[in-house]
Amino acid sequence: MKILVTASGNDLNAPLDSRFGRAANFIIYDLDTDAWSVIDNRQNVNAAQGAGIQSAETAVRSGARCLVTGHCGPKAFKVLSTAGVRVFYSKALTVSDALKEYRAGTLAEAASAET
């Protein structure tokens, strides 16, 4: 299963980006094979509007079934939950720490957007 983690850099040691819609990068990690790739999300960092929606569309297209981030706005959350992507919130410092937390099952799943 693929999981998406928001990142400010482009590898597993990168800081976890606390925002979803305006995160610099998305790390797509395959939990079954440990293969991973990076999606550049910078077009949404400075978008005037629709950043959250566009990022959510990117996330859905990536094939990730769940994602880990710090905050997710209401429009992005609506798109993700309609598409069946589960959202988890983490305060981890790095992408790999966030993945460890997910695997340990210690992350809180979002029932709605966190403001």
Partner 1 sequence: MILAIASGKGGTGKTTVSVNMARMFGADIQLLDCDVEEPNDHLFLKAAAISEEIVHVPVPQVNNTLCDGCGECGRFCRFHAIVPSAGGTLVFSDMCHGCGGCMKVCPRKAIHEVDQRIGAVETGRLDDITLIKGRLDIGRAMAPPLIRAVKDRLRKDIPAILDAPPGTSCPMITTLQGADYTLLVTEPTPFGLHDLKLAVDTVRTLRIPFGVVINRSGIGDDRVRAYCREEKIPVLLEIPDDRRIAENCSEGKLVVDALPEYRPFFQKLIRLVRDGTAC
Residues that bind partner 1 (CB under 8 A): 49-50, 53-54, 56-57, 60, 75, 78-79, 82-84
* Nearest-angstrom CA–CA distance, 55 and 53: 5
Q: How far is the CB of 75 from partner 1 (least distance, A)?
A: 6
Q: Is the torsion defined by CA of 110, 39, 96, 47 positive or negative?
A: negative
- Could you identify the residue written with the tokens 């981890």? 92
Nearer to partner 1, 59 or 95 (CB): 59
**Of the two residues 82 and 106, which places its CB atom closer to partner 1 in the complex?**
82
Q: Which is nearer to partner 1, 28 or 56 (CB)?
A: 56
User: Considering the complex, what minimum distance in angstroms separates the CB of residue 34 from partner 1?
Assistant: 27
Q: Compute the distance between CA of residue 22 and CA of residue 39 in angstroms, rounded to an integer.
A: 13
Which residue, 33 or 49, is less far from partner 1 as judged by CB?
49
**Residue 70 phi, psi dihedral angles, 5° rounding:** -90, -50
Task: Supply the minimum distance, in Å, between the C-beta of residue 86 and partner 1.
Answer: 13
* Closest to 29 measured CA to CA, from 94, 112, 82, 78: 94
